[in-house]
Chains A and B, each alone.
Chain A
């Protein structure tokens, strides 16, 4: 008991004015703002696919982009909430990516059904995964660096959401840049690796976000 009082006195003595962390909504908006700026700059360098205006008139392509945007928004929100020890007492919102993923799977299924006759597979394969990984590396490193300043008590999930957020940026970029109509290729080399990286995020979260 004496030790506890001694510790309390020491901590109180060390206490100075502390600037509270921003609200998770604000934090998430900030992260998304930076991510969109990064995406715009990347697209300015790489260029957009020449058939983009025509593709934007195809409902399945728009639905796919919207589903990806859903993952981007919800993982950003969830990662920001999970950075707080008590999930900012908004526990239900932290599960929003599950809904986004359910919608995404539905869109993928519908796109696969609509791909009849199947569009020809492109000649390349793993290069897409590599491109998404390289594009996502910087946002991933940055978001983990930022999240380390908080105090996550759900570091596995926080790491998973952070990496999914970063890889959704890469996936959106590639969909807007690469001329490719094969949904099978997109599922195999864009989205399955993205989900795999989300699983790696569980492990990374444990190693990077533990405090």
Chain B
């Protein structure tokens, strides 16, 4: 294990000296031990490779902060952890944003939509002007009577994404009809 680690430090020293082959080797070794570390922490997504690429780019950008005289792995892991935290922060921020959209939709869904005086047919012209995906969702839900869950299955989306898209479409239509 120590030999292997020493080996990484020696490779990195050569890499800092401009040795491209040593640099490729050290990056390959790095990606080999970082992949399981990331996969374990990102089991809910399939973006491990994307993050690994970002980490490798960060290592490349910060390689002047490594001098080859101290252990290599703690240096690499500190960069990997930093990028992982960044990723998780933005991932959960997106989720929160998504949840805000859903809660807005819930307010809207409390309104009585089934007894609306506006029928699908009467506004089909406006629906046709919506983006393709939103128009399809409204058509499936209001003309053909599918539930959001069924639409999601049909279009290969998740249910909440369908609800959000429908909500956005309603908002656009409402603005247009108010005019």
> Could you mark each residue 1-31 of chain A with 1 if its beta carbon is under 8 Å from any beta carbon of chain B, else 0?
1011101110111111111110100000000
Within the assembled complex, what's the spacing in Å between the Cα atoms of A8 and B74? 20
B104 interface residue (CB < 8 Å to A): no
**Residue numbers in B under 8 Å from A211 (CB-CB):** 58, 61-62
Contact of A12 among B21, B61, B65, B66 (CB under 8 A): B21
A115 interface residue (CB < 8 Å to B): no
In this complex, what residue of B is CB-closest to A15? B23
Within the assembled complex, what's the spacing in Å between the Cα atoms of A27 and B65? 12
B105 interface residue (CB < 8 Å to A): no
8 A Cβ contacts from A79-96 to B: 83-89
With known contacts A85-B78, A153-B82, A12–B24 Cβ distance under 8 A: yes
Contact of B53 among A7, A20, A151, A153 (CB under 8 A): A7
A191 interface residue (CB < 8 Å to B): no
B94 interface residue (CB < 8 Å to A): no
B49 in contact with A4 (CB, 8 Å): yes
Overall SS of chain A's interface: loop
**Residue numbers in B under 8 Å from A20 (CB-CB):** 16, 64-68
8 A Cβ contacts from A12-55 to B: 12-21, 23
Within the assembled complex, what's the spacing in Å between the Cα atoms of A12 and B27? 8
B64 in contact with A84 (CB, 8 Å): no
Contact of B57 among A7, A12, A86 (CB under 8 A): A7
With known contacts A3-B53, A151-B61, A8–B79 Cβ distance under 8 A: no
8 A Cβ contacts from B51-88 to A: 52-53, 56-58, 60-68, 70-71, 74-75, 77-79, 81-82
